[in-house]
Amino acid sequence: MNNIAEENENQKMNTETLEKQETPAPEEKQDASSPEITGEETMEELLDIYESSLKKFEEGQVVTGTVISVGRDSVLVDVGYKSEGQISIQEFIDEEGNVNVNVNDEFEVMIEVWDEEEETVLLSHEKAKKVKVWDAIKDIYDDDGTIEGVITSRVKGGFSVDIGLLAFLPGSQADLRPIRNMDEMVNQTYTFKILKYNKKRNNIVLSRRVLLEAVRDKLRSTTLEAIEDGKVMEGIVKNITEYGVFVDLGGVDGLLHITDISWGRVKHPSELFSIGDKINVKILSFDLEKERVSLGMKQLTPDPWTTAVDKYPVDSKITGKVVSLTDYGAFIELEEGVEGLIHVSEMSWTRKIRHPSQMVTVGEIIEAVVLDLKPDNRRISLGIKQTVDNPWEVISQKYPVGTIIEGKIKNITEFGLFIGIDDDIDGLVHISDISWTKRIKHPSEVYKKSDTIQAVVLDIDKANERFSLGIKQTQADPWESVSQRYEVGKEISGVITNLTDFGVFVELEEGIEGLVHVSEISKENVKSPKEHYQIGESITAKVMNINSDERRIGLSIKRLEEDDDDKYLEDFAKNMKPATSSFGEILRTNIQEQIEANKVQEAQKQDSEDADKSEE
């Protein structure tokens, strides 16, 4: 029933339409191509005439339509056909969900579905726009023109660009140089060249680099004509490396080396520049054939070393900033481009500085004195110890030789003790000046660090900054009175402390030793003392000689035995009864002569040995 009602309604509408067409308004002109109506046609003929008057369309064709209604799901558009065309409402909903279409809006649409039997017409406004874009792309490509678009996102190998259709921009075609941060180009609008397109595959490839190269080539020719040595030009920082900055002068790139950026110290160009900065530079050299341009920025200002002699005379005090430390010293910036060196030897009068970090730190502002200036070599020698008085100039007045001082042991070495005095001055007690008598292998045997001791000032060498002290000098030298305690010829006793191939060392008192030479051990031939004695054994010997300067005492066991023999003879001669015969008198006389001869011989032998030892 509903279908019949719809058919009757449609037939009624068609009849009304025919009636309207049969009686056109007087002011309207009838289309010359329309069949002429005489009024005698049948209904069937009239319907044929009506259908033939309607426009004929094909699928894929783009036509102009007018919105006649906007529904929930679709928009009805009059395209001049007996049935209105439908467009999905989704084509008119924006990102915020608003419907952007109104009744009577007129725009182009594409016929997607055309079914005369079902009287169905499906349209698309979006596809109509794309068709127009494809037509525009063809025209632009044929005319070698350009098109504007927005980079919407990054994709593999490049970018996606909206030019009405989605096109592909390869990464290599996005700029003249590789792009470090590709995300910066997203949502930016650029002008592009169409490299190729394929409508069937829906493929469009763009290039921005081609246009930039054309601009660069045009600028290059102009720039090359303008470049000349010594000229100051404006450029744009294009790239930054650790060794310098590449500057675009207008189609021509120049290198601003790190050494030509500033008269001062530059660790890395990125500290001073960013990509895109506009800077003024000076042309230092230009090779037209290779198109190489060397640039300078520091050359735009005078060289500060030209006035350094007037600003920093020798012996003047300066204030500067510590900019660098090395093993051998610290570099001080006096002004931009002028640096001086404080050698470690010029940092302290008294302390031995192993590294400048013991005295200064980078970034610290310090005072120093100019020691030497060589502007031709761009060198200034500085010192910070010169800002205070030299303690070595007054130390000899404060502690004259012979003064007894007291101090703590600051350091112990194999050759002596370092004693802290004052003003960071250390005095050295050499190992030989620790004791008069003890044989010390290492000072740590007697003292330890931080011990407080007394010592005598022996010598002060200001030139070499040496302060010599002695501990043993605080007491009298026991060897000065040894001859009074051990007279020559005196019989003494001692303990064996050492046995050698050439003799026996005997300790007479603490620190005082005597030597029994192997020849003085016995009348008999002794090859090695070790065969007869042991260390620690007590022996008795006779003092033969004393040399206080060389600290030697000569002893003899053999002489002691010979003295015993002579004494026996003397006692024998004295105890003999008066001679009753000439033989007895002769024997007494011979014994006395023999005793005297032995004494003379002993004295001569002693003198000879003393002479030999003195020659040695």
Residue 386 has pLDDT above 70, yes or no: yes
Reported as a single tens digit per residue, the pLDDT across 264-308 is 888 899 988 988 899 999 998 888 777 788 999 988 888 888 888
- What H or E segment, with its residue span, contains residue 560? helix 558-575
The fold of the 227-296 domain, in CATH, is: OB fold (Dihydrolipoamide Acetyltransferase, E2P) (2.40.50)
Question: How far apart (Å, rounded) are the C-alpha atoms in residues 467 and 426?
Answer: 7
- Mean pLDDT in residue range 242-259: 89
Q: Considering the chain, what is the average pLDDT of its residues?
A: 80
Q: What is the CATH number of domain 144-213?
A: 2.40.50.140
The pLDDT assigned to 596 comes to 62
The pLDDT assigned to 607 comes to 58
Superfamily of domain 478-565: Nucleic acid-binding proteins (2.40.50.140)
Of residues 49 and 600, more confidently modeled: 600
Segments making up each domain of the chain, as ranges: 59-129, 144-213, 227-296, 309-386, 391-474, 478-565
Percent of the chain exceeding pLDDT 90 equals 22
Question: How far apart (Å, rounded) are the C-alpha atoms in residues 395 and 403?
Answer: 12
Which range (103-117, 349-363, 559-573) has the least confidence?
Answer: 559-573
- In 3D space, the residue among 14, 127, 87 whose CA is nearest the CA of residue 78 turns out to be 87
Tokens of 420: 């802290």
What residue spans of 228-325 are helical by DSSP H? 308-311
The helix/strand count (H/E) of the chain reads as 9, 30
Question: How far apart (Å, rounded) are the C-alpha atoms in residues 396 and 574?
Answer: 70
3-class secondary structure, 521: coil
- What H or E segment, with its residue span, contains residue 34? none
Question: How far apart (Å, rounded) are the C-alpha atoms in residues 267 and 283?
Answer: 23
Question: How far apart (Å, rounded) are the C-alpha atoms in residues 233 and 247?
Answer: 10
Residue 366 has pLDDT above 90, yes or no: yes
Reported as a single tens digit per residue, the pLDDT across 422-442 is 767 888 999 988 888 787 889
Which range (159-168, 329-338, 581-590) has the least confidence?
Answer: 581-590
The pLDDT assigned to 609 comes to 55
The pLDDT assigned to 1 comes to 33
The pLDDT assigned to 237 comes to 92
* Cα angle value 90/91/97 (rounded, 5°): 55
Of residues 15 and 159, more confidently modeled: 159
The pLDDT assigned to 301 comes to 87
Q: Cβ(504)–Cβ(496) under 8 Å?
A: yes
Equal fold, 227-296 vs 309-386: yes
3-class secondary structure, 93: strand
The pLDDT assigned to 4 comes to 34
Torsion angle of the four alpha carbons 174, 175, 176, 179, in this order, in degrees rounded to the nearest 10: -100
Reported as a single tens digit per residue, the pLDDT across 196-216 is 988 888 889 999 998 988 888
The pLDDT assigned to 90 comes to 81
583: left (phi over 0), alpha (psi -120 to 50) or beta: alpha
The pLDDT assigned to 290 comes to 75
Strand stretches in 350-490, DSSP E: 365-374, 379-383, 404-413, 416-420, 426-430, 452-461, 466-470
Q: Which residues of 359-384 are buried (b: 16+ CB within 10 A; e: fewer)?
A: bbeeeeebebbbbebebeeeebbbbb
Of residues 206 and 602, more confidently modeled: 206
Question: How far apart (Å, rounded) are the C-alpha atoms in residues 65 and 80?
Answer: 8
- In 3D space, the residue among 230, 287, 214, 205 whose CA is nearest the CA of residue 253 turns out to be 287
Amino acid, res. 96: E
Residue 229 has pLDDT above 90, yes or no: no
Q: Which residues of 7-28 are buried (b: 16+ CB within 10 A; e: fewer)?
A: eeeeeeebeeebeeeeeeeeee
Per-residue confidence band for 165, with pLDDT thresholds at 50, 70 and 90: confident
Helix 558-575 with 582-615: angle, nearest 10 deg: 160
Residue 565 has pLDDT above 70, yes or no: no
User: Beta 85-88 vs 74-78: how paired, if at all?
Assistant: antiparallel
Which range (119-123, 292-296, 323-327, 511-515) has the least confidence?
Answer: 119-123
Question: How far apart (Å, rounded) are the C-alpha atoms in residues 458 and 473?
Answer: 9
3-class secondary structure, 10: helix
Amino acid, res. 462: K
Which CB contacts under 8 angstroms, 24+ apart, belong to 140-145?
Answer: 140/194, 141/194, 141/197
Task: Look at the alpha carbons of 360, 362, 363, 366 in this order and tell me if their dihedral is positive or negative.
Answer: positive
Reported as a single tens digit per residue, the pLDDT across 326-337 is 999 999 999 888
Q: Cβ(166)–Cβ(198) under 8 Å?
A: no
- Mean pLDDT in residue range 5-27: 40
Per-residue confidence band for 10, with pLDDT thresholds at 50, 70 and 90: very low
Superfamily of domain 391-474: Nucleic acid-binding proteins (2.40.50.140)
* Cα angle value 48/50/56 (rounded, 5°): 95
- What SS3 string covers 122-161? EEEHHHHHHHHHHHHHHHHHHCCCEEEEEEEEEECCEEEE
Residue 365 has pLDDT above 90, yes or no: yes
Reported as a single tens digit per residue, the pLDDT across 514-558 is 898 888 888 888 888 888 888 888 888 888 888 877 888 888 888
Residue 8 has pLDDT above 50, yes or no: no
407: left (phi over 0), alpha (psi -120 to 50) or beta: beta
CB within 8 A of 570, min separation 6: which ones? 595
3-class secondary structure, 361: coil
513 HSE (CA, 13 A, CB side)? 17
The CATH number corresponding to 59-129 among 3.50.50.60, 3.30.450.20, 2.40.50.140, 1.10.3720.10 equals: 2.40.50.140
The CATH number corresponding to 309-386 among 2.40.10.340, 2.40.50.140, 3.40.50.12160, 1.20.120.550 equals: 2.40.50.140
Question: How far apart (Å, rounded) are the C-alpha atoms in residues 254 and 293?
Answer: 5
Reported as a single tens digit per residue, the pLDDT across 566-581 is 554 455 555 555 545 4
